[in-house]
């Protein structure tokens, strides 16, 4: 029982940040129909920026709570700017091209960002652990948990709820949904699809970078971070169904718990298990768990 | 592609390319070997892409071929390059026969994702298998040819270059014949609309499976060459970035010309090794910029530099948006 609880709690903690990354990926796919390989790089970018912010704050001997706030604000600003720049400056030239070409375009962005982060932050691992102690530790069912990890759960749930609420209950959200469902019809109804594209992409980048910032105190930032994360979030999004918010949540939970379980039971099977789930889901529900079948041309 | 070059012309081209290796400097020789082997696997992707499906997991068959050869060669003491290549092709093909029928039902992005997932499962399994050296992999011996052992590294390099160029060249000729054959033409029809093909009484899944197995055979043989060239194998063979590069070669080449695949593969290797040499810390950046430039300025691939569009339908980049538009219009 105790073991079961541990796995579930560890899985939830994993799922909390994975969900935020996957949410961004799934939104960008829904609106722009791009499976963004560079998404993992935005996560890494967020983590690195957060580390710099935290280190700067700590250098001025301000309390870690200021560091926590500083990292979120700086990441939000830089990530939105990077997202807007990339969409307006580069991606818009690819619209209307083959899916594979779009995928390769984002792969190129991934390669470029990989080296840019190396150029700025170097290849040695960097840390930003100060905010990690911010919320103390809790004892739960005989095990000690770092408060910071547990705080991620409500943050992630809040972000998920806000995105769901924003999409389904506000005018802006309805416009985005309209673009997701039928771009041409939205254009004819007077929706500025270009703006929706730019804003959605920037928001996707923002989500990835926020997840990076939130996890920055927990991990060491080093090259290779982005490709690990993109591989995980791909699996989540495909399991849940491309473009589905609920799907991203369920996918993140499945992957988080599977990852936690395999870490406890068979650490050698971690990546294996996740991709086995993904292959299994694709075998039986190729559109993912939460995607309706779409009409096709006969 | 009815007006393609004559068979004898193509064979002469392969022979010329092989002999050309004699005058190439040593460093280009190993580069060209890698390029030829990458061209082989990219050719498989082009074959498969003619059915409208792009595999992002060719690394699976690449690694299967490589590991298959390495294990069998180590166990039975086989060093012959041609035999190793054949073993690789058989390993890739067998795995393709198992996976092909399962995967043929999927299309578009799901096909790509499923192939990616399978290759990553394989990667995960390889990394954790202690018997196969885990993430470090293991080494294999120097290949020989028809009982000849090459002690001079230059001769050994040339031998490998010759075998890989001849193999890839003949694969290219086979692909050209395939593209003009009934199967090749039906493949194009499957890409246009698989349901209509089914209505005509042909199994679209079977067509996709056959093309998939051909691609797997090419990938397996390519894995064998990569193994012989590096004399080392590790799970990186199955990693998604490896597969991504092969897709890149295929897209860079475009879908119009078989020769373009070789040129594209060589161009990529040159860009990679030059930027590796002169800009060791930013070679990925250079590669990324190169990739973007090609996608932006050569939308139909390198092949479009010397092949004027014979038929618009050959080029999926033009076909897919039309299909998408019709879908939206429904």
The conformation of residue A242, written as its DSSP 8-state character, comes to T
Of 3.40.50, 1.10.260, 1.10.150, 1.10.3470, which CATH number belongs to A2-284? Answer: 1.10.3470
Residue B121 to residue A272, Cβ atoms within 8 A: yes
Q: Is A297 on the interface with B (CB under 8 A)?
A: yes
Contact indicator for A113, A41 with CB cutoff of 8 Å: yes
* Residue A292, pLDDT score: 61
SS3 of chain B: CCCCCCHHHHHHHHHHHHHHCCCCCHHHHHHHHHHHHHHHHHHHHHHHHCCCCCCCCCHHHHHHHHHHHHHHHHHHCCCEHHHHHHHHHHHHHHHHHHHHHHHCCCCHHHHHHHHHHHHHHHHHHHHHCHHHCHHHCEECCCCEECCECCCCHHHHHHHHHHHHHHHHHHHHHHHHHHHHCHHHHHHHHHHHCHHHHHHCCCCHHHHHHHHHHHHHHHHHHHHHHHHHHHCEECHHHHCHHHHHHHHHHHHHHCCCCHHHHHHHHHHHHHHHHHHHHHCCCCHHHHHHHHHHHHHHHCCCCHHHHCCCCCCHHHCHHHHHHHHHHHHHHC
* Residue B200, pLDDT score: 86
Report, as ranges of residue numbers, the positions in chain B whose pLDDT lies below 70.
1-5, 21-22, 134-135, 137, 141, 144-145, 147-153, 256, 307-330
Enclosing H/E stretch for A190: none
Which residues in chain A are contacts of B204 at CB distance < 8 A? Answer: none
Enclosing H/E stretch for A281: helix A270-284
* Residue B318, pLDDT score: 44
Which residues in chain A are contacts of B105 at CB distance < 8 A? Answer: 286
Please give the structure tokens belonging to residue B37.
């082997």
* Residue B57, pLDDT score: 84
Residue B193 to residue A297, Cβ atoms within 8 A: yes
State how far the Cα of B307 lies from the Cα of B180, in Å rounded to an integer.
17
Q: Is B118 on the interface with A (CB under 8 A)?
A: yes
State how far the Cα of B62 lies from the Cα of B117, in Å rounded to an integer.
15
Please give the structure tokens belonging to residue B39.
């061209």
pLDDT tens digits along A92-123 = 888 877 777 888 888 889 989 988 888 888 87
Q: Is B231 on the interface with A (CB under 8 A)?
A: no
Q: Is A272 on the interface with B (CB under 8 A)?
A: yes
Among the partner residues B54, B110, B323, nearest to A100 by beta-carbon distance:
B54
Q: Tell how strand B138-139 and strand A143-146 pair up.
A: unpaired
Residue A101 to residue B295, Cβ atoms within 8 A: yes
- Closest residue in A to B127 (Cα) is A268
Sequence-distant (6+) residues with CB within 8 A of A283 are: B102, B114
CATH code for residues B7-329? 1.10.3470
Contact indicator for A280, A239 with CB cutoff of 8 Å: no
Residue B117 to residue A235, Cβ atoms within 8 A: yes
Q: Is B289 on the interface with A (CB under 8 A)?
A: yes
Which residues in chain A are contacts of B116 at CB distance < 8 A? Answer: 234
Q: Which of B309, B274, B307, B306 is nearest to B290 (CA)?
A: B274
Contact indicator for B109, A100 with CB cutoff of 8 Å: no
State how far the Cα of B268 lies from the Cα of B287, in Å rounded to an integer.
8
* Residue A293, pLDDT score: 58
The alpha-carbon gap from A81 to the nearest alpha carbon of chain B, in Å, equals 21
- A67-106 residues touching B, CB cutoff 8 A: 90, 93-94, 96-101, 103-105
Helix axes A245-265, A147-169, angle to 10 degrees: 160
Please give the structure tokens belonging to residue A184.
């041409």
User: Domain-by-domain residue ranges, chain B?
Assistant: 7-329
Largest CA distance in chain B: 66
Would you say residue A19 has pLDDT above 90?
yes
Residue B295 to residue A231, Cβ atoms within 8 A: no
* Residue B324, pLDDT score: 44
Q: A25, A41, A107: which to substitute to probe chain B, counting the most B Cβ within 10 Å?
A: A107
State how far the Cα of A168 lies from the Cα of A147, in Å rounded to an integer.
32
Contact indicator for B220, B92 with CB cutoff of 8 Å: yes
Q: Tell how strand A143-146 and strand A137-140 pair up.
A: antiparallel
* Residue B314, pLDDT score: 47
Percent of chain A past pLDDT 90, that is, above it, reads 15
The conformation of residue A140, written as its DSSP 8-state character, comes to E
The alpha-carbon gap from B99 to the nearest alpha carbon of chain A, in Å, equals 12
Contact indicator for B145, B8 with CB cutoff of 8 Å: no
Which residues in chain A are contacts of B316 at CB distance < 8 A? Answer: 98
Q: Torsion over CA of B105, B111, B114 and B116, rounded to 10 degrees? A: 150
pLDDT category, A159, cuts 50, 70, 90?
very high
* Residue B194, pLDDT score: 80
Q: Is A176 on the interface with B (CB under 8 A)?
A: no
State how far the Cα of A137 lies from the Cα of A146, in Å rounded to an integer.
4
Average pLDDT over residues A167-186: 88
- B269-288 residues touching A, CB cutoff 8 A: 281-285, 287-288
* Comparison of pLDDT for A228 and B133, the residue scoring more: A228
- A228-267 residues touching B, CB cutoff 8 A: 231, 234-235, 238, 242
Cα separation values, A13 from A16, A22, A69, A248, B264, Å: 5, 15, 21, 15, 45
State how far the Cα of B219 lies from the Cα of A73, in Å rounded to an integer.
48
User: Domain-by-domain residue ranges, chain A?
Assistant: 2-284
Percent of chain A past pLDDT 70, that is, above it, reads 95
């Amino acid at each position: 029982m105790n073991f079961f609880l541990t796995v579930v709690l560890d899985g939830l903690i994993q799922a909390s940040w994975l969900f935020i990354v996957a949410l961004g990926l799934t939104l960008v796919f829904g609106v722009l129909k791009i499976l963004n390989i560079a998404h993992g790089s935005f996560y890494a970018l967020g983590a690195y920026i957060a580390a710099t912010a935290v280190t700067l704050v700590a250098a001025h001997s301000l309390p870690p709570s200021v560091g926590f706030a500083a990292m979120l604000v700086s990441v939000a600003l830089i990530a939105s700017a990077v997202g807007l720049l990339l969409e307006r400056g580069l991606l818009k030239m690819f619209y209307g091209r083959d899916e594979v070409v779009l995928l390769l375009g984002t792969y190129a962005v991934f390669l470029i960002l990989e080296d840019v982060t190396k150029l700025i932050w170097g290849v040695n691992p960097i840390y930003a652990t100060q905010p990690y102690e911010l919320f103390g530790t809790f004892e739960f069912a005989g095990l000690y948990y770092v408060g910071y990890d547990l705080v991620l759960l409500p943050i992630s749930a809040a972000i998920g709820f806000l995105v769901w609420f924003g999409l389904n209950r506000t005018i802006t959200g309805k416009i985005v949904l309209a673009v997701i469902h039928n771009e041409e019809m939205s254009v004819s109804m007077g929706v500025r699809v270009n703006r929706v594209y730019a804003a959605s992409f920037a928001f996707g980048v923002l989500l990835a970078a926020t997840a990076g910032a939130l996890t920055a105190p927990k991990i060491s930032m080093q090259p290779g971070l982005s490709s690990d994360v993109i591989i995980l979030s791909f699996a989540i999004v495909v399991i849940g169904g491309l473009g589905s918010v609920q799907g991203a949540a369920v996918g993140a939970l499945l992957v988080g718990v599977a990852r936690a379980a395999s870490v406890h039971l068979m650490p050698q099977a971690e990546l294996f298990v996740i991709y086995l789930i993904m292959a299994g889901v694709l075998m039986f529900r190729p559109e993912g768990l939460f995607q309706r079948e779409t009409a096709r041309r006969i | 592609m009815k007006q393609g070059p004559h068979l004898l012309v193509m064979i002469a081209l392969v022979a010329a390319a092989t002999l050309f290796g004699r005058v190439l400097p040593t460093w280009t020789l190993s580069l060209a070997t890698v390029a030829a082997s990458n061209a082989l696997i990219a050719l498989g992707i082009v074959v498969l892409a003619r059915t409208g499906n792009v595999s992002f997991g060719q690394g699976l068959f690449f690694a299967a071929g490589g590991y298959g050869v390495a294990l069998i060669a180590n166990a039975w003491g086989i060093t012959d390059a041609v035999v190793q290549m054949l073993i690789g092709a058989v390993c890739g093909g067998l795995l393709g026969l198992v996976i092909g029928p399962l995967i043929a039902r999927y299309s578009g992005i799901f096909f790509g994702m499923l192939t990616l997932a399978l290759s990553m499962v394989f990667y995960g399994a390889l990394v954790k298998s202690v018997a196969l050296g885990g993430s470090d992999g293991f080494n294999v011996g120097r290949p020989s040819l028809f009982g000849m052992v090459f002690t001079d590294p230059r001769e050994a390099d040339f031998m490998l270059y010759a075998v890989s160029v001849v193999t890839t060249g003949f694969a290219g000729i086979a692909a050209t014949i395939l593209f003009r054959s009934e199967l090749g033409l039906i493949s194009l029809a499957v890409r246009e609309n698989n349901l209509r093909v089914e209505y005509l009484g042909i199994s679209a899944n079977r067509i996709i499976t056959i093309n998939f197995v051909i691609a797997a055979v090419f990938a397996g043989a390519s894995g064998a060459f990569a193994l012989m060239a590096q004399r080392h194998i590790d799970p990186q063979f199955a990693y998604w970035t490896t597969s991504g590069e092969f897709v890149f070669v295929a897209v860079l080449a475009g879908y119009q010309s078989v020769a373009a695949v070789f040129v594209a593969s060589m161009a990529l290797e040159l860009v990679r090794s030059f930027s590796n040499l002169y800009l060791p810390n930013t070679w990925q950046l250079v590669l990324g910029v190169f990739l973007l430039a090609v996608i932006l300025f050569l939308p139909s691939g390198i092949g479009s530099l010397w092949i004027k569009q014979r038929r618009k339908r050959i080029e999926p980049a033009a076909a897919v948006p039309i299909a998408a538009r019709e879908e939206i219009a429904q």
